[in-house]
Structure 1
Amino acid sequence: MEGKKKQVGRPHLKSGKRNRKISVRFSEEEFNSIVSLEKLLGLKRADIIRKRVLEVNLPLIFDGRSVLASIDQIGLELSRTGNNINQLARYANILNKQRILSPVIFTRYSKELYKHSLLVKSLNMEIRRMLRLMGS
């Protein structure tokens, strides 16, 4: 047991080791811009600079908060219209059993279904936009 040392830390890289360093000076505005990108994207400064310089074709800026907020808002509206559709369907079924169903109910139901389909389409567009921004 005395001959074996306990390994501490992660294993050493065999290939792809980053052993070259470049020092760059930034103005106060440039540095603040990088810091705000760091907070917004949740990436380290070195990763932001590395992606920006080496992966030119990939979009770097992905404002996840605004995309998620819009998806959340669309989901909320989707839930509301789904609830309205369920209430109208239940009401229509009750009126149909009593043989007093009105065409107004069908019109309202159609409007809610149309609104619901627009929200589903909008949600799909937001998800596709988010996936494009993420580079998938």
Structure 2
Amino acid sequence: MSKIRNSFFLMDNLKNKGGRPRLTAGKRSVKIVSRFTDDEYKQILALEKELGINRSQIIRTRVLHNAEMIVVNSKELIGHLDSIGAEMGRAGNNINQLARHANVIKLKGDLPPAVAEKFNSLLESYVGMQGVLEMSLRKIIRMMAK
């Protein structure tokens, strides 16, 4: 019998007495129940899978933090931003090729002044659009950081 008692006391000492400390502040203790149609629920499940965050976090973000804020699929956004960057690179390459060609023609003395003026106005327009795009991208990045 003493063997049984000794093993019982040993088992008691093996129990995990640690673990995560209990939350004192910020504990979510209130539960709100809401009903959704099958289609709405499927949309929430699709968002959950697509964004990689749980349903509660999706709903909490939409309702509490900023009703105007849109939950964004970051993978899709990065893909679009990557394609915009590639397109800007191609446009810059084309501009450099046109400028080089214009300089070669100018050295020969065959460049009409109207062509040079048109090129300069188009380049000025492109630089303005590039500035607007840059500001928009910075705005998107700031919104994503919130």
The TM-score bracket by the shorter chain reads: 0.5 to 0.7
Residues in 2 aligned to 1:89 and 1:107: alpha-carbon distance in whole angstroms: 12
Please say if 1:109 is aligned against 2:116: no
Residues 36 and 25 of structure 1: is their aligned pair in 2 closer, same or farther, counting only changes over 3 Å? same
**One of 44, 49, 55 as aligned partner of 1:34:** 44
**One of 17, 31, 34 as aligned partner of 1:21:** 31
Relative contact order, CA 8 A, sep 6+: which one is greater? 1
Deviation string, structure 1 residues 6-29 (Cα, Å, up to 9, x no partner): 966x55434212233344443322
Give the equivalent residue in structure 2 for 1:43.
53
Counterpart code for 2:61: K
Q: What runs of 5+ residues in structure 2 fail to find an aligned partner?
A: 1-15
Residues in 1 aligned to 2:98 and 2:76: alpha-carbon distance in whole angstroms: 33
Residues 36 and 94 of structure 1: is their aligned pair in 2 closer, same or farther, counting only changes over 3 Å? same
Counterpart code for 1:30: E
- Check the 8 A contact 2:48/2:55 in 1, yes or no: yes
Residues in 2 aligned to 1:108 and 1:32: alpha-carbon distance in whole angstroms: 54
- Check the 8 A contact 2:45/2:55 in 1, yes or no: yes
**One of 58, 62, 70 as aligned partner of 1:52:** 62
- Check the 8 A contact 1:67/1:126 in 2, yes or no: no
Give the equivalent residue in structure 1 for 2:91.
81
Residues in 2 aligned to 1:38 and 1:126: alpha-carbon distance in whole angstroms: 27
Residues 40 and 101 of structure 1: is their aligned pair in 2 closer, same or farther, counting only changes over 3 Å? farther
Q: What runs of 5+ residues in structure 1 fail to find an aligned partner?
A: none
Deviation string, structure 1 residues 84-104 (Cα, Å, up to 9, x no partner): 1212233344444x4425137
Residues in 2 aligned to 1:125 and 1:24: alpha-carbon distance in whole angstroms: 40
Identity of aligned residues (%): 37
Residue 53 of structure 2 aligns to a residue in which SS? Answer: coil
Equivalenced residues, count: 131
